[in-house]
Structure 1
Amino acid sequence: MFLQRATWPEVESYLERSTGIVVPIGSTEQHGPTGLIGTDAICPETIAAGMAEAGILVGPTLSIGMAQHHLGFPGSITLRPSTLMALVGDVVTSLSVHGFTHFYFLNGHGGNIATVNAAFAEIWAQASLAQRSSDLRMKMGNWFAGQRVRALARELYGDADGSHATPSEIALTWHAYPDLARDEALDPVRPPDGPIRDAADYRKHFPDGRIGSEPHRAKPEHGKRFYEAGLADALEDYRRFAGADSR
Structure 2
Amino acid sequence: MKLQLCSWQEVESYLERHRGIIVPIGSTEQHGPNGLVGTDALCPEVIAHGAGEREGIMVAPTLSIGMAQHHLSFPGSMTLRPRTLIAVVYDVVQSLTRHGFSHIYFLNGHGGNINTVQAAFAEYYADYSLHNAPDCEAPGHLKLGNWFAGQRVKALSAELFGDREGSHATCSEVSLTYYAYPEAIKQVKMSPEIAPNGSFRDAVDFRRRFPDGRMGSDPSLATPEKGKQLFEAGIEDLLEDYQAFLAA
Whether 1:70 and 2:74 are equivalent positions in the alignment is: no
3-state DSSP of counterpart to 2:145 = strand
Letter in 2 for 1:62: L
Matched residues, number: 244
Hey, what does 2:213 align to over in structure 1?
209
Identity %: 63
Whether 1:126 and 2:127 are equivalent positions in the alignment is: yes
1:89-112 C-alpha deviation (Å, 9 max, x unpaired): 000001111111111000000000
Question: Which 4+ residue blocks in structure 1 deviate beyond 6 angstroms?
Answer: none
Q: Give, in whole Å, the separation in 1 of the partners of 2:186 and 2:57.
A: 33
Is residue 179–residue 223 contact of structure 2 (8 Å, CA) maintained in 1? no
Q: Give, in whole Å, the separation in 1 of the partners of 2:61 and 2:113.
A: 17
For the aligned residue pairs, the C-alpha RMSD in angstroms reads 0.8
1:4: how far off? 0.1
3-state DSSP of counterpart to 2:58 = coil
Structure 1 length-normalised TM: 0.97
3-state DSSP of counterpart to 1:190 = coil
Is residue 34–residue 182 contact of structure 1 (8 Å, CA) maintained in 2? yes
Letter in 1 for 2:107: L
Which moved further from structure 2: 177-186 or 81-90? Answer: 177-186
Hey, what does 1:184 align to over in structure 2?
188
Listed as ranges, the gaps of 5+ residues in structure 1 are: none
Which moved further from structure 2: 50-59 or 111-120? Answer: 50-59
Structure 2 length-normalised TM: 0.97
Q: Give, in whole Å, the separation in 1 of the partners of 2:204 and 2:31.
A: 16
1:138 aligned residue (139, 142, 154): 142
Hey, what does 1:34 align to over in structure 2?
34
Is residue 89–residue 123 contact of structure 1 (8 Å, CA) maintained in 2? yes
3-state DSSP of counterpart to 1:103 = strand
Hey, what does 2:58 align to over in structure 1?
57
Listed as ranges, the gaps of 5+ residues in structure 2 are: none
1:149-170 C-alpha deviation (Å, 9 max, x unpaired): 0000000111110000001000
Whether 1:102 and 2:103 are equivalent positions in the alignment is: yes
Is residue 28–residue 41 contact of structure 1 (8 Å, CA) maintained in 2? yes
Q: Give, in whole Å, the separation in 1 of the partners of 2:173 and 2:48.
A: 15
Q: Give, in whole Å, the separation in 2 of the partners of 1:122 and 1:110.
A: 20
Q: Give, in whole Å, the separation in 1 of the partners of 2:126 and 2:224.
A: 45
